[in-house]
Chain A
C-alpha cells in the first residue's frame, strides 16, 4: 500500500513538475519574442501550464495528507 501511494505521489509530482517546466519554458520563450502576441503566449499558455502544474502539485500534497500516511512512507 505504501509503495502504491509513493508511486502515485511520485507520478503526480512528476506531472506537476513537467507542467511547471513546460510553462516556464513557454514564459522564457515569450520573453525573447518582441511581439505583441508574445504577451498572449505568456498568459494563455505559459501561465496556464504553470497554473495547472501548481494545481496538480497542491492536489498531490493534499491528497497525500488525506491518506493519513506518515510523511516518511517513501521506501
Chain B
C-alpha cells in the first residue's frame, strides 16, 4: 500500500484524537462519546493495521533488503554481466520484479510462507543488531525447487528443456525437489560473491 493513504488516515486519526484530548467536554454528549470511541479506538486501530500493512509491503523491496551493509555484495551480484548467474539473469531481464527481486526468490511459496519469511527477517534483525551475522551468509535451508517452479512450472522452456526431458525421472526429481535446480551442477552460479571482484558488471541505461 502506498504511504500517502496511510499518512492521511493517521492525520485524520490524530485530529480526532486531539479533539478528544483538548476538548474532553465534548464527550458528555452522545455524539461526543461516539467521536471519542472512534478517535481513541477505531481510527487508531485502523491506522495501525494500515501502517503494519505498509511496513510489510515495504519490507519486500529490494532497497529494503540492501539497506543492511552486509547485503551489499548480494545486491551487486544482480548486475553481474554473465547470463549464467541466475539472480543476475533474472534481475536484468525483468524475470522478477526488480523492486522486489530478493523477496520474489527468497520467500516461501507455501502456506504461511510469507509469514515464515517475515519471521526470518526478524531473525536477520536480531543477527544484525544484537548478535554477529555468520560469515559467509548461508541460507537456513537448502534452496527449494518450489521457489523456482512457482514461476517456471508449465513454462515451455522448463517443460520442454532438453536436459529436463532427457530422462522422465529427471523431471519427476526436479518437481519433487529431489534434484536441486541450483546445486545439482545445472544452475549452480547463484550469487557467488566470492568471485565479485573478478567479474564484469552491467550498467543499466538511464
Contact = CB atoms under 8 A, between A and B. Distances in A.
Interface of A: 9-10, 13-14, 16-18, 20-21, 23-25, 27-28, 30-32, 34-40, 42-43, 46-47, 50, 53-54, 57-58, 61, 71-72, 74
A4 B84 CA distance: 77
Nearest to B21: A17
A32 B44 CA distance: 18
A10 B67 contact: no
B67 A27 contact: no
B73 interface: no
B41 A54 contact: yes
A34 B47 contact: no
Given A10-B24, A46-B51, 11 more contacts: A13-B24, A18-B21, A23-B44, A24-B10, A24-B14, A31-B7, A36-B68, A36-B125, A39-B59, A54-B40, A58-B41
B51 A27 contact: yes
A43 B107 CA distance: 22
A37 B122 CA distance: 10
Interface of B: 3, 6-7, 10, 13-14, 17-18, 20-21, 24-25, 27-28, 30, 33, 36-37, 39-41, 44-45, 47-48, 51-52, 54-55, 58-59, 63-64, 67-68, 121, 124-125, 128-129
21 contacts: A13-B21, A17-B21, A21-B14, A24-B47, A27-B47, A28-B7, A30-B51, A34-B63, A34-B64, A36-B59, A36-B64, A36-B68, A36-B124, A37-B125, A38-B55, A42-B51, A53-B40, A61-B37, A71-B28, A71-B30, A74-B27
Contact of B10 (A13, A28, A35, A71): A28
A31 B3 contact: yes
A13 B36 contact: yes
Contact of A20 (B33, B44, B55, B121): B44
Contacts of A17: 17-18, 20-21, 39-40
Given A14-B24, A17-B18, A17-B21, A24 B13 contact: yes
Given A21-B14, A21-B18, A74-B25, A30 B55 contact: yes
A46 to B, nearest CB: 7
B21 A25 contact: no
A42 B122 CA distance: 13
A29 B123 CA distance: 23
